[in-house]
């Protein structure tokens, strides 16, 4: 990876991961989802650049996985809480999907792909931990992210 692109992606990724963590700690759904949503753009761009270089089909799969995460994490202003059972069950499933995508991204980068800097795998680990934190917090104390 080009050192300039690596630096830009590292700074943008760190900022978006911090936004995700801040949203999780403050229980602010809009900030939390914004961080995840816009972070998803980075793997899409990186895998598009890699696909242009070597035309390997795995890049297309990763692009579609993170396009899915982008769509799932799009922040909206629709409020919901424990009184709306369908929305709360759907929110749990979406959070679980985002958790699985980021765990998969971390494993892919840290264990399988040698040409991607490790910090990007660690970004996925931190996002997965933030999602897991909110899932556990909701399950144990019935706290809702606003």
- What confidence tens digit (pLDDT) does each residue in 112-135 have? 877 889 999 999 999 999 999 999
Q: Tens of pLDDT along 13-42? A: 999 999 999 999 999 989 999 999 999 999
Could you tell me if 145 and 27 are in contact, meaning their C-beta atoms sit under 8 angstroms apart?
yes
Q: Tens of pLDDT along 78-105? A: 766 667 778 778 888 999 999 999 999 9
The pLDDT confidence band at residue 71, using thresholds 50, 70 and 90, is very high
Could you tell me if 35 and 20 are in contact, meaning their C-beta atoms sit under 8 angstroms apart?
yes
Distances (CA, A) of 43 to 37, 64, 87, 103, 136: 11, 10, 28, 14, 27
- Residue 128 placed within a domain: yes
Q: Which pLDDT score is estimated for 68?
A: 96
Closest CA to 134 of 1, 25, 12: 25
Say how many C-beta atoms besides its own lie within 10 A of residue 80's C-beta. Answer: 15
**Can you give the residue range of the structural domain that contains 54?**
3-141
- Residue 82 placed within a domain: yes
- Residue 69 placed within a domain: yes
Side-chain-side CA neighbours of 94 within 13 Å: the count stands at: 17
Say how many C-beta atoms besides its own lie within 10 A of residue 46's C-beta. Answer: 21
Distances (CA, A) of 60 to 4, 8, 66, 85, 93: 24, 22, 10, 36, 24
Domain count, the chain: 1
- Residue 146 placed within a domain: no
Q: Which pLDDT score is estimated for 92?
A: 87
Q: Which two tokens stand for residue 42?
A: 């980075």
């Amino acid at each position: 990876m080009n050192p300039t692109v690596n630096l830009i992606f590292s700074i943008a990724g760190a900022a978006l991961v911090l936004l995700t963590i801040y949203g999780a700690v403050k229980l602010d759904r809009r900030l939390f989802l914004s961080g995840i949503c816009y972070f998803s753009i980075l793997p899409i761009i990186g895998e598009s650049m890699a696909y242009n270089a070597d035309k390997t089909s795995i890049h297309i799969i990763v692009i579609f996985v993170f396009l899915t995460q982008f769509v799932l994490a799009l922040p909206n202003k629709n409020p919901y809480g424990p009184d709306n059972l369908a929305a709360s069950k759907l929110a749990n499933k979406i959070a679980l999907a985002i958790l699985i995508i980021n765990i998969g991204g971390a494993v892919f980068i840290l264990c399988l792909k040698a040409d991607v800097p490790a910090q990007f795998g660690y970004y996925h680990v931190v996002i997965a931990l933030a999602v897991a934190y909110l899932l556990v917090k909701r399950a144990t104390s019935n706290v809702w992210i606003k």
